[in-house]
């Protein structure tokens, strides 16, 4: 398929990627052995066959379990390095990577363990092939706002390495308004803001992310389609949506890729982008997500060009840096 080959080699940007969700079963098993951690899997095949999800929570349970093998600086380095090698392979020239500090601090692993590991891998990729990379610190919304505030305070020594804060984990029952104060504090510290909203949760949570958290982008946002007033607002405001096609079908947000609304949203004039979310759990990296759209939707070359252009424009790159690519 010509279109697939063409998009594969095109310079691209990724804006919605959880580094803990790029932990491949091979590295998971290696690190479990290294640290003598018992996992409920006998081998790599068993890990892969466990990745059959009914909804977001059934995925999150295995995602937090998998992350429990990440213990020392070198583990976080290896995790980040493996993902950055995929960026090179997929020609992802700029990436904004989310990490979940609380997934690690709750286990007694602090910023001084994971941040040096992440930074060493990023510096190496930047030196070796000019990889451009920014970090987004994401709060777990199933925990309290107080815990998010403590996380923001614990990140003080690394604020210069962090471009934005985000909000992820179980959406239903944890509306954006729960995190109004911590997002306000982050804004005052000069951090940009993104939040998962309208993945499993209602369109109202997208309004909440915009109005209460003052976000620059919405992660997912596909449920915006249920609210015509919100759609009109998103067309007008051009708030980017970081849509994740393979994630949405794996987590049954859409039963089949043919039913995905990304093309509808794009044709309506929303600022839509394509992203991988948790590639090792959802069956593919960024090129695989573009390929899935090509395989299952009536998508044309001009749509793909728009999607790629949108992700450059929706990024937190400086204007000068954007101009290098557009």
Task: For residue 199, indicate whether it is catalytic.
Answer: yes
Residue 74 counted as an annotated binding residue? no
Residue 199 interacts with, from Zn ion, ligand ES4, none (CB under 5-8 Å by kind): ligand ES4
Residue 278 counted as an annotated binding residue? yes
Site residues, Zn ion (CB under 5 A): 277
DSSP letter at 192? Answer: E
Say how far apart CA 216 and CA 193 lie, in whole Å: 6
| Residues 209 and 197 sit within 8 Å (Cβ to Cβ) | yes
Find the shortest distance in angstroms from Cβ 297 to ligand ES4: 20
| Residues 8 and 91 sit within 8 Å (Cβ to Cβ) | yes
Two tokens, residue 280: 């090792």
| Residues 68 and 36 sit within 8 Å (Cβ to Cβ) | no
Mapped onto helix, strand or coil, the DSSP state of residue 73 is helix
Residue 277 counted as an annotated binding residue? yes
Find the shortest distance in angstroms from Cβ 291 to ligand ES4: 19
Site residues, ligand ES4 (CB under 6 A): 18, 21, 56, 63, 168-169, 196, 199, 247, 277-278
Per DSSP, helices labelled H in the chain are: 2-9, 25-34, 44-50, 56-67, 73-90, 101-105, 111-129, 145-154, 180-188, 203-211, 228-237, 245-250, 262-268, 279-282, 286-296, 301-313, 319-325
Two tokens, residue 111: 């910023």
Find the shortest distance in angstroms from Cβ 270 to Zn ion: 18
Residue 56 interacts with, from Zn ion, ligand ES4, none (CB under 5-8 Å by kind): ligand ES4
Residue 287 interacts with, from Zn ion, ligand ES4, none (CB under 5-8 Å by kind): none
Pick 90 or 277: Cβ nearer ligand ES4: 277
Name the catalytic one among 14, 20, 24, 199: 199
The per-residue DSSP string of 114-142 comes to HHHHHHHHHHHHHHHH--EEEEEEEEETT
| Residues 133 and 122 sit within 8 Å (Cβ to Cβ) | yes
- Residue located via tokens 């790629």: 308
Find the shortest distance in angstroms from Cβ 305 to ligand ES4: 26
Residue 75 interacts with, from ligand ES4, Zn ion, none (CB under 5-8 Å by kind): none
Residue 94 counted as an annotated binding residue? no
Query: Closest-CB residue for ligand ES4?
Result: 168
Work out the angle between the directed axes of helices 286-296 and 301-313 (0-180°, nearest 10).
Answer: 150
Residue 169 interacts with, from ligand ES4, Zn ion, none (CB under 5-8 Å by kind): ligand ES4
Pick 93 or 199: Cβ nearer ligand ES4: 199
Residue 296 counted as an annotated binding residue? no
Find the shortest distance in angstroms from Cβ 278 to ligand ES4: 5
Two tokens, residue 189: 């510290």
Catalytic positions: 199
Q: Pick out the residues of the known binding site.
A: 16, 18, 196, 277-278
Q: Pick out the residues of the known binding site for substrate.
A: 278
Q: Pick out the residues of the known binding site for Zn(2+).
A: 16, 18, 196, 277
């Amino acid at each position: 398929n010509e279109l697939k080959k063409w998009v594969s080699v095109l310079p691209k940007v990724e804006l919605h990627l959880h580094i803990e969700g790029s932990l491949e079963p091979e590295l998971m098993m290696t690190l479990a052995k290294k640290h003598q951690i018992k996992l409920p899997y006998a081998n790599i095949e068993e890990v892969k066959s466990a990745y059959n999800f009914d909804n977001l929570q059934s995925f999150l349970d295995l995602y937090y379990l998998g992350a429990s093998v990440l213990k020392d600086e070198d583990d976080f380095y290896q995790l980040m390095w493996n993902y950055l090698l995929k960026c090179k392979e997929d020609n992802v020239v700029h990436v904004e990577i989310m990490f979940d500090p609380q997934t690690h601090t709750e286990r007694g692993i602090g910023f001084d363990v994971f941040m040096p590991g992440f930074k060493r891998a990023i510096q190496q990729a930047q030196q070796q092939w000019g990889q451009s990379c920014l970090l987004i610190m994401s709060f777990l919304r199933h925990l309290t706002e107080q815990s998010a505030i403590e996380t923001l305070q614990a990140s003080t020594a690394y604020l210069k390495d962090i471009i934005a804060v985000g909000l992820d984990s179980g959406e239903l029952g944890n509306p954006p308004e729960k995190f109004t104060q911590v997002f306000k504090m982050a804004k005052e510290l000069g951090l940009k803001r993104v939040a998962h909203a309208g993945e499993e949760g209602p369109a109202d949570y997208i309004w909440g992310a915009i109005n209460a958290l003052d976000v620059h982008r919405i992660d997912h946002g596909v449920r915006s389609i249920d609210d015509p007033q919100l759609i009109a607002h998103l067309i007008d405001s051009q708030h980017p949506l970081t849509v994740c096609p393979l994630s949405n079908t794996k987590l049954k947000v859409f039963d089949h890729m043919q039913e995905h609304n990304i093309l509808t949203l794009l044709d309506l004039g929303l600022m839509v982008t394509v992203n991988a979310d948790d590639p090792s759990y959802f069956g593919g990296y960024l090129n695989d997500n573009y390929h899935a759209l090509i395989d299952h939707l009536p998508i044309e070359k001009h749509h793909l060009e728009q999607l790629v252009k949108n992700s450059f424009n929706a990024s937190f790159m400086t204007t000068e840096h954007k101009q290098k690519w557009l």
